[in-house]
Amino acid sequence: MPISRALLVAPLVLCLLALGSTSLPSEPHLTPASSYLPRLVVEGRAPAAAFLARHNTPGHSGLYDSEGTGIRVADRFRAGSITKSFVATVVLQLAAEGALRLDDSVEEHLPGVVRGHGNSGALITLRALLTHTSGLYDYTAALPAADPALTGVAGPSAQPLSPAAAVRTAVAHPPAAARGSYAYSSTNYVLLGMVVQRVTGHTYGTEIRRRIIVPLRLTGTSLPGARTTLPLPHSRAYHRAGDGTLRDVTSLDPRVGGAAGELVSTLDDLDHFYAALLGGRLLAPAQLSALLDTRAAGGSYGMGIHSQKLSCGTTVWGHRGRITGSYVRSAATRDGRHVFTFRVNTDTPPARSLETALLEAEFCARRLF
């Protein structure tokens, strides 16, 4: 399988201050994390894999590496549930402005929307939505999949849902978990997108653009709405069917993900977003503390952000994103000074042990460059 490896060297000021996608020169180089890219392709049966790491410390530069064919550093791709980190940031900004309170009930903002089959918006707070402790059924589990392997993930032929229809799908089922216990559900973030619109008068996409994308100059990031094609440049996206064949699913209607998974982005933009978020550039200290408070979820999830403690003692923060044709994972140190995003151009995620090994190679291995 062809291998492409590139070291992206940028001035330190780009690591510290650059806010948008950058075009960087390249030359061959290897890192500890690079050795895991072939395994992502072979064991994960992905056509291609790539990562981009940023080191916001003196003497370190940005590093891009890829394996297989069909992925370039500037490519746009669907980022799936990483959308949740963006939505949570907007909600916390609105809380800081006094436009809403995290302990407001869903019923206060969306009267009558969550009701029936044991569900009650009057008993669910915005905080519970943010931390996935509402107990609400995940609407994506009820969507028709194009292939049995896509259980829980919207298939390319799935009909687009409006936010209200997605919530109706969820509340047609009893709660999937007891209120107060952690149970990941995309329904929570669809509701948060609806709350943002009710509070601001603008869609969550408009608020994300105004509050995050434009200020950070994330020129490769967008909320496509009904647009089924990816902006240029982009690589192809594939789903491996049950018979093992790859199907091109580059074009799809992302509205089925909505505020829970609509985002399109780039490796560079996601690195910059998490660096800015964890570095305190998007949230005031009180809201950043709330974002990183994992107690409600038993230590694994804050508000739109995962935490994972690695074997070397380092805890990384970020999110996974999975949608038809794409899997991506972003992780960063608590201060946002070291950020790492990898992706494969298929929706089959790598084994969790392989993903952890890749993160440990990046964040725990001794730096040789």
| Residue 11, pLDDT score | 28
Q: How confident is the model at residue 45 (pLDDT cuts 50, 70, 90)?
A: confident
Q: Is the pLDDT of residue 367 over 90?
A: no
Alpha-carbon distance 303 to 340, whole Å?
20
Q: What percent of the chain has pLDDT over 90?
A: 76
Q: State the pTM of this model.
A: 0.89
Reference 270, options 49, 34, 51; nearest CA is 51
| Residue 60, pLDDT score | 56
Q: Is the pLDDT of residue 16 over 70?
A: no
Alpha-carbon distance 143 to 152, whole Å?
7
Q: Is the pLDDT of residue 110 over 60?
A: yes
Question: What DSSP string runs through 35-50?
Answer: GGHHHHHHTTT-SEEE
End-to-end Cα spacing for the chain: 26
pLDDT, one tens digit per residue, over 257-278 is 999 999 999 999 999 999 999 9
Q: Is the pLDDT of residue 146 over 80?
A: no
On whether the CB atoms of residues 285 and 333 are closer than 8 A, the answer is: no
Reference 198, options 56, 91, 333; nearest CA is 91
| Residue 9, pLDDT score | 29
Compute the average pLDDT of residues 32-61.
86
pLDDT, one tens digit per residue, over 156-190 is 444 567 999 999 999 999 999 999 999 999 999 99
Give the list of residues 6+ apart from residue 315 with CB closer than 8 angstroms, or none.
Answer: 307, 308, 309, 333, 334
Q: How confident is the model at residue 57 (pLDDT cuts 50, 70, 90)?
A: low
CATH number of this structure's domain 77-363: 3.40.710.10
| Residue 102, pLDDT score | 98
Alpha-carbon distance 213 to 219, whole Å?
7
- Angle CA(255)–CA(257)–CA(262) in degrees, nearest 5? 80
pLDDT, one tens digit per residue, over 19-28 is 233 333 343 3
| Residue 230, pLDDT score | 96
Q: Is the pLDDT of residue 5 over 50?
A: no
Compute the average pLDDT of residues 140-144.
84
User: Helices 186-200 & 163-171, crossing angle to 10 degrees?
Assistant: 130
Q: What percent of the chain has pLDDT over 70?
A: 85
| Residue 56, pLDDT score | 77
Compute the average pLDDT of residues 152-156.
44
| Residue 8, pLDDT score | 34
Domain boundaries, the chain: 77-363
